[in-house]
Amino acid sequence: MFARAVKAAASQGAKNFSTSSQNNVKVAVCGASGGIGQPLSLLLKNSPLVTELSLYDIVHTPGVAADLSHIETQSKVTGYNGPENLEKALKGADIVIIPAGVPRKPGMTRDDLFNTNASIVRDLAAGVAKACPKALIGIISNPVNSTVPIACDTLQKAGVLDPRRVFGVSTLDIVRANTFVGEAAGVDPQKMAVPVIGGHSGVTIIPVLSQTKPAVNFAQDKITALTERIQEAGTEVVKAKAGAGSATLSMAYAGARFALALARAMNGEQNVIECAYVRSDVTEAKYFATPLLLGKNGLEKNLGLPKLNAFEQELLKKAIPELKKNIQKGEDFVKKN
């Protein structure tokens, strides 16, 4: 089952950007004026799968919306500025993607963003609970390991949580793994499918290089180096941007890939598979990323843990305590606030 899933996923990265449209799909982007929000909205505007694009931010949204609305694709673009307009922005949304919040600067961990981003994600999730409780939600804002539990518990407090509809977007880890492993193996990265499981920070990112499709055969020191590069790839970009933020363009690509996978599944396409960070009982951690079969209501079937070799089992052992700590921190925040 898992091998078939990974193979199917291999063809999906490219497909996401080219499929023709069927049903109406309204996507709301919260944080639409930011470094990720703008190029992500551009990619969504360029997709025939999206029929309506609602842009929300606390600044600059009218300008971003006016700009995008001149692009010669069919979707309608609207812009909403400020918390008083949040519910209007979200009304009728089928998919809500959240890249709102501050990014890292060199020397910071993703967890250092918690104090600012926790309340941003909580307030946006509360808006979703009121305006579009059935929407599928993709959370990009860091620290994802904690912001997903925050969103879930906020929806739970409002009495509308359906855990199948809430996803932490870890697609950039898969995109990077496909690129780095493809480059090392001499395979077109678009044809590479590397499962990446766990969470979205440092040791919680677990690339499963023993289960790539096509299979690759590297010496252990190469596997260790590739694993560490995938785990630290976000920091690689933060350092290279030298104070000007973190990954935005590759994240916009990854966010669009994930949002359009949700849209394709909503439209009834079969066998749409992506890894994402969700409420899970696959490991001891209450939230965990694994390959997921997507359907009309979001998570249709969790495809579970891929087969792990001894090296990957050690990675999993290191990830679990850190994940549990990050999850607890998010849950405590919602209890206290």
Ligand X SMILES: O=C([O-])CC(=O)C(=O)O
Ligand Y SMILES: NC(=O)C1=CN([C@@H]2O[C@H](COP(=O)(O)OP(=O)(O)OC[C@H]3O[C@@H](n4cnc5c(N)ncnc54)[C@H](O)[C@@H]3O)[C@@H](O)[C@H]2O)C=CC1
Residues contacting 247, CB < 8 A, separation 6+: 172, 234, 237, 238
100 counts as binding ligand Y under rule CB under 6 A:
yes
Quick check: 196 and 205 in contact, CB under 8 A?
Answer: yes
Contact segment (CB under 6 A) with ligand X among 6-14, 161-169, 217-225, 229-237 equals 229-237
The yes or no reply on residue 169 touching ligand Y (CB under 6 A) is yes
Among 10, 30, 230, 238, binds ligand X (CB under 6 A): 238
176 appears as a binding residue in the annotation? yes
Asked if 120 touches ligand Y (CB under 6 A), the answer is: yes
The smaller minimum CB distance to ligand Y, of residues 140 and 315, is found at: 140
Total of residues contacting ligand Y (CB under 6 A): 32
State the Cα–Cα distance between residues 113 and 104, nearest whole angstrom. 7
Q: Which does 238 bind (CB under 5 to 8 A by kind): ligand Y, ligand X, none?
A: ligand X
Query: What angle in degrees, to the nearest 10, is found between the helix axes of 114-131 and 310-336?
Result: 70
237 binds, among ligand Y, ligand X, none (CB under 5 to 8 A by kind): ligand X
**Only segment of 42-50, 56-64, 208-216, 235-243 that touches ligand X (CB under 6 A):** 235-243
> Residue 214 in contact with residue 316, Cβ under 8 Å?
no
Tell how strand 136-139 and strand 298-302 pair up: unpaired
| 200 binds ligand Y, rule: CB under 6 A | yes
Is 213 near ligand X (CB under 6 A)? no
Q: Measured from the CB of residue 235, what is the shortest distance to ligand X in angstroms? A: 6
Structure token pair of residue 73: 């694709």
Q: Which of residues 168-207 bind ligand X (CB under 6 A)?
A: 172
CA 86 to chain centroid, in Å, comes to 21
Question: What is the distance between the alpha carbons of residues 84 and 68, in angstroms, rounded to a whole number?
Answer: 23
Closest distance to ligand Y from the beta carbon of 120 (Å): 4
Beta bridge mates, 301: 293
In sequence order, the 6+-apart residues with CB closer than 8 A to the CB of 18 are: none
Q: Using CB under 6 A, which of 246, 283, 290, 326 touches ligand X?
A: 246
CA distances 320 to 108, 149, 285, Å, are: 22, 15, 6
Catalytic residue (one of 200, 213, 257, 264): 200
Examine the residue annotation and report whether 200 is marked as an active-site residue of this protein. yes
Q: Are 185 and 226 in contact (CB under 8 A)?
A: no
Assess contact for 120 and 100: CB atoms under 8 A: yes
Known binding-site positions = 31-37, 57, 104, 110, 117, 140-142, 176, 251
| Contacts with ligand X, residue ranges (CB under 6 A) | 103-104, 110, 142, 172, 234-235, 237-238, 246-247
Q: What residues line the site for ligand Y (CB under 6 A)?
A: 30-31, 33-37, 57-59, 99-104, 113, 117, 120, 123, 140-142, 144, 169, 172, 200, 245-248, 251
